[in-house]
Amino acid sequence: MGAIGLAPCKDVVVLAREPVPGLGRLIATARSVCGVFSDAGPTDLSGDASPRHQPGEARALPLMDACCDLVVDYATCSAPQAAQRAVSSIVDSRRLLRPGGVLLLDLSRRDGAGRSVGTLDEAATETQLRGAFQHLAFYRWPGGDAFGTLAEALADTRRPDGEAGAAAYVCAVASDGPLPRVSPQVFGPAAEAAEVTDASDANDANDANDANDAMPRAIAGPSRLAGSVEGGSTKGQAAAARVEATGAEAQSAALEQAVQRLSASNAELAATVQALRHSMSWRISAPLRWLVSTGRRVAGPLSGLLGRGAAYTALQDLTLAEDGFLRAGERPVFGLSPRGGALRPGWAWLEAEIESDRPALNATLFSVCEDGHRVAHSLVLGHGLASRLVALPAGVRSLRFELIDAAGARIKVHRLSFAPLGRVGLALKAYRMLDVDQRRHFLGALLHGHPGRALMQLRGALAAGAGSDAYRTWVALYDTPTDADLERLRALGAALPRQPLISILMPVYNTRPQYLRKALDSVCRQTYGNWELCIADDASPNGEVRAILNEYAVHDRRVKVVFRESNGHICAASNSALELVAGDFVALMDHDDALPPHALYMIAKEINDHPDVDMIYTDEDKVDADDHRHDPHFKTDWNRELFYSQNMVAHLGVYRTDLVRRIGGFRVGFEGSQDYDFVLRFLPHTEAARIRHIPHVLYHWRIFPGVTSFSTDNPDASLDTARRAMRDYFATAEPEADVVPVGHGWWRIKRPLPSPLPRVSLIVPTRDRLDVLKVAVDGLLNETDYANLQVIVVDNDSVEPATLAYFETLRADPRVTVLRVPGPFNFSALNNRALEVADGAILGFVNNDIEVIDAGWLGEMVAQVSRPNVGAVGARLYYANDTLQHAGVILGIYGVAAHSHRHFARNSVGYFGRPVLVQNLSAVTAACMLVPRAVFEAVGGYDEEGLTVGYNDVDLCLRIRERGYDIVYTPFAELRHLESVSRGENRSAAQIARDAKERATMIARWPSVISRDPFYNPNLSTANEDFTLSFPPRVPRPWAQSGVET
């Protein structure tokens, strides 16, 4: 079997209808082989049971992405409806291959005896392969079962008459990397008759000249000829070198003829170029050629400004209908590539206009990187042009534009462009996003010598604009009730068993009249009627404000107003308004903000559902001067540690009136942070179970240039009042903790280490890979600033002499214990066994591919986990390229769980600061996790039976939370994590089956928390790790007749 030539030390996947000849030799040569057979039962290859697969069904292929180096596909052309299934089969293979991997696709139709009875349409197959791979070659031979692994096309060896020779057997070889060389002898005894065709050669001249189409051909012609000569010479030299390497006895007549024809062609082209360069026309056209050359040099920088567009190819689940529309299958995918250049990391502008019979389509642009990971950028396609700014990650290799939940849709692509942006292009995009006032402030900052302020405005515009289109579409689809919806909400509100009186507290001072009216109107239009609006005007000098307030008070008795005689600022005014309150609950509202019409209904319903509630907070967004909504903040359920880090409650906050009066309302002197101080003083009078979060946007915070408040006008004073409020709170709650600002108005609560230091047993399972193990252990022993630790290296059948010798040196260190635990890799069992020799009160679970980069990491984690309410603590981990690997675990993403903000830049603050702030979570990774030994033993340790490798840390954390303990993520313990480098990825059939079983175990064991992680908002996507919007949301709209919208 020819595939053996590429198999040594490779991971190979064989797709066939039944086991094929030569598999035994392939198994003996390759590192691993997984056979996927559609007609036969599961076949044992390399000791693993092979899954079954129907060729051509791309989504059904039961293998993980980037799991192999070589795909050998016998199945596609032998399957019924082979031509239709070829596209899906190519997508199958592209998904399975690692960077530089090779696909060998048999194009020969075979009868029951394996004889060729024809071939698949090469032209159609070439089109599909070129959409998925960068390099492609076809090979033909007249007989013998030699299908397999020829890999780089040596030259264009078509017959002199231009017709390819008839061949009984044909295969295609495709890869994103250079095609490897294989001797023609792989084709067996008939090697001398083999014909080799590099399909890419025929297009070389066209590809090279794409950028020159606009230039005068008479001028560019000689340069093109010269390029052809140079290219031809290179090909001829390469072909000659390969012929010499294979030996004279193995040379093919076709290859020799190819070299001869190329040499003759080179000589002819060289003579033509020489004659042209000595002609009069060549000398006369020299200035024009200079202009052409200069134009090309200028075109490069301008391309980053103007964009070159992109070529797109239908890769998957798209068929052309008779009416000219494309019909979307289960998971339609386009491939995108920029014209005139390779993909590079950095900013780019994506635009798409796709006509559809759906009201909107949700699309995701996936940046596929060299290491196999994918970074997602969401885009919502309504009617018209949609666009967004995207950041391509380091190592980006290809782009996939996928339409989500579009099965059955009719679509027509009017525009699908992708343009890289340089700094100038990025700045222009940002400037165009600014409104008139923002542009005036931007230009003013530049003219007055404040480039930093101008730059901050551009950055803010980019941050807001990148997701604004998606949010506007989301609002239109899922958060805009119709008149009929509002009528239904009025009926639902009137039917509530309890009708709590909700008092809205509104301090007013010199509000712009139009926005004051909008604020008052938003209250008066509520679908729930049992409310009162308690307003205190803080001696506004603008008489129109008083007139407006009196007008509304006259028209609606529920509007109560008190006019203060002197200005006392927001705290005093809020307390004056509090004196008017007669309701059961107090809601806080600013004088120029707005409530959606269903806000108070949602509050009343929550009170009905949870009568003992003391405090309610909701999601919020911002509105500009024209009421355009943007920048939504989708919050977690009650998250005490995150609240300590930032005021995540903010708007809309609703509080039980009795408790508000018990704490004395608002403290004068804390202006700018009065809401934060208010909640901090409120917390000791309630408990977590009586704090409720409503995952709906029930507050619109008006913010745009010119709108000011105490905090915006006095940022230093606001920071000072927040620090004083926090220190007052912690003086009682945690007297030894220190409150440290960390920027952006956020905080770190720095807890002290216990005295004496508790003993920590750091458990490191390993199997060989001394290169990473030594870095990890040396870091734990010599680069960690913590005196009382034990390192337990759990050796799971290491065999390399260097590793065993290293274990002997470690045994000489009294801080280290080497524990040998033989048998199949079982992460749960290895860690559980370590308790036999662990002597620490705190257990630390550390992967063997961890690298210490901050000496204080363990001290920070011990300080957190030593608190009596904490059951586990996780760290902030980075990949080798300094992007985020772990900032906590979010449940539900990808079906079970995934890491928050994975692959974000190290200095990114992420979604509302989540990666850089201490917070409570449902789970953290055991790549670096601390657990009190007593807690670990109380919950029974890791699950050794059901979760041997995957999700065992998530399961452990969920059982710890079930016992009432908190799980804490701290970004102030930083390490580097190479992620599974010693064990490798899940790639064999047995590993894939195990992963599926463990996923099923988790879903069956924890269905409610996986479907609704309390520390992840249901309005955010579970298809990505980047906190993008969910289309549709996973929480029902209050006016929806049934469940979540479809």
**Per the structure block, which two tokens stand in for 329?**
């299958």
pLDDT digits (tens, 9 = 90+) for 838-896: 999 999 999 999 999 999 999 999 999 999 999 999 999 999 988 899 999 999 998 99
Contact status, residue 696 vs residue 619, Cβ threshold 8 Å: yes
CA distance 797 to 804: 10
Own/partner pairs, 996-1000, CB within 8 angstroms, 24+ separation: 996/62, 998/946, 998/947, 998/948, 998/949, 998/950, 998/951, 999/895, 999/896, 999/950, 999/951
What is the token pair recorded at 583?
């309701």
Q: Where are the beta strands (DSSP E) in 879-965?
A: 884-886, 889-891, 897-899, 919-921, 928-932
Q: Are strands 789-795 and 816-820 parallel, antiparallel or unpaired?
A: parallel
**Tokens linked to 91:** 């997508």
Burial code (b: 16+ CB inside 10 Å, e: under 16) for 110-132 equals beeeeebeebbebeebbebbbbb
Residue with the two structure tokens 């506004």: 540
Greatest pairwise CA separation for the chain in angstroms: 107
pLDDT exceeds 50 at position 40: no
Mean pLDDT of 52-79: 60
Which candidate, 512, 508, 509, places its Cα nearest to that of 534? 508
CA distance 426 to 305: 8
The token pair that represents 258 in the structure block = 């190819």
User: What are the pLDDT digits (tens) for 591-615?
Assistant: 999 999 999 999 999 999 999 999 9
Q: What is the enclosing helix (H) or strand (E) of 445?
A: helix 436-447
Residue 170's H or E segment, with its range, is: strand 169-175
Q: pLDDT tens digits for 307-323?
A: 445 677 788 888 877 67
pLDDT, average across residues 729-735? 97
Q: Which of 270, 469, 273, 499 is nearest to 1028 (CA)?
A: 469
Q: Which of 378, 560, 391, 395 lies closest to 469, judged by CA?
A: 378
Cα 571 from chain centre: 42
pLDDT of residue 349: 83
C-alpha–C-alpha distance, residues 202 and 258, integer Å: 14
Query: How far is Cα 697 from Cα 693, in angstroms, rounded to an integer?
Result: 11
Please, which residues have CB within 8 angstroms of residue 835's CB and are 6 or more apart in sequence?
A: 843, 933, 936, 937, 941
Across 14-23, 129-138, 141-150, 570-579, least confident range: 141-150
Per-residue model confidence (pLDDT) at position 2: 46
In this predicted structure, the answer to whether residue 438 has a pLDDT above a threshold of 90 is no
Question: Where does the pLDDT of residue 981 fall: very low under 50, low under 70, confident under 90, or very high at 90 and above?
Answer: very low
Per-residue confidence (pLDDT) for residue 526, from 0 to 100: 98
Helix (H) and strand (E) counts in the chain: 29, 41
Closest CA to 382 of 480, 482, 477: 477
**Cis peptide leading into 97, omega within 30 of 0?**
no
- 744 is written with which tokens? 């952006």
* Tokens 């708007």, located at residue: 651
Q: Is 86 left (phi over 0), alpha (psi -120 to 50) or beta?
A: alpha
626: Cβ contacts below 8 Å, ≥ 6 apart: none
Average pLDDT, the chain: 79
Task: Show the beta-strand stretches assigned E in 719-828.
Answer: 738-743, 746-750, 760-766, 789-795, 816-820
Residue 118 has phi, psi (to 5 degrees) of 135, 175
Q: What is the pLDDT of residue 605?
A: 98
Confidence of residue 260 (pLDDT cuts 50, 70, 90): low
- Among residues 121, 141, 83, 76, which one has the least CA distance to residue 103? 76
Confidence (pLDDT) at 286? 65
DSSP 3-state assignment of 1009? Answer: helix
Q: How confident is the model at residue 276 (pLDDT cuts 50, 70, 90)?
A: low
Mapping DSSP to helix (H, G, I), strand (E, B) and coil, where does residue 154 land? coil
Residue 320, token pair as written in the block = 């052309």
Identity at 293, one-letter amino acid code: S
Per-residue pLDDT, 180: 65
Query: What residues contact residue 747 under an 8 Å CB cut-off, 6+ apart?
Result: 644, 645, 646, 722, 726, 739, 740, 741
Asked whether residue 578 carries a pLDDT value surpassing 90, the answer given is: yes
> What is the helix (H) or strand (E) element at residue 17, kind and residue range?
none
Q: For the CA atoms of 954, 956, 957, 963, what is the dihedral angle to 10 degrees?
A: 150
User: Is the pLDDT score of 27 beyond 90?
Assistant: no
Q: Sign of the CA dihedral 429, 434, 438, 440? A: positive
Which has more confidence, 631 or 714?
Answer: 631
Phi and psi torsions of 233, nearest 5°: -60, -40
Q: pLDDT of 919-943, one tens digit each?
A: 999 999 999 999 999 999 999 999 9
Length of the chain: 1046
Q: 882-886 long-range contacts, Cβ below 8 Å, gap at least 24?
A: 882/906, 883/393, 883/394, 884/908, 884/915, 885/927, 885/977, 885/979, 886/924, 886/925, 886/927, 886/977
Sort 183 into a burial class: Cβ within 10 Å, 0-12 / 13-18 / 19+.
middle
Angle at the Cα of 53 (from 48 to 58), degrees rounded to 5? 120
CA 569/CA 508 separation, integer angstroms:
10
The CA distance from 73 to 172, in Å, is: 10
Residue 776: half-sphere exposure toward Cβ, Cα within 13 Å: 30
What local confidence, expressed as pLDDT, does residue 683 receive? 98
User: What does residue 230 show for φ and ψ, rounded to 5 degrees?
Assistant: -65, -40
Tokens of 637: 């359920």
Residue with structure tokens 């407006």?
548
Q: What does the H/E/C string look like for 793-807?
A: EEECCCCCHHHHHHH
> Does pLDDT of 495 surpass 80?
yes
- Distances in Å between the Cα of 532 and the Cα atoms of 561, 687, 945, 997, 998 are 11, 27, 59, 55, 53
What is the number of alpha carbons within 13 Å of residue 108 lying toward its C-beta? 28
**Is pLDDT above 50 for 201?**
no
Residue 520 and residue 545: Cα distance in Å, rounded?
A: 12
Spatial CA neighbour of 574 closest among 639, 506, 641: 506
Average the pLDDT over 264-284 and give the result: 59
What is the distance, to the nearest Å, from the Cα of residue 121 to the centroid of all Cα atoms in its chain?
A: 38
Distance of CA 761 to the CA centre of its chain: 34
Predicted confidence at residue 417, as pLDDT, reads: 81
d(CA 345, CA 123): 33
Sequence-ordered strand ranges (E) for 222-360: 310-320, 326-338, 346-356
Say which amino acid occupies 518. Answer: K
Average of pLDDT values for 332-341? 76
Give the phi and the psi of residue 588 in degrees, each rounded to 5. -100, 130
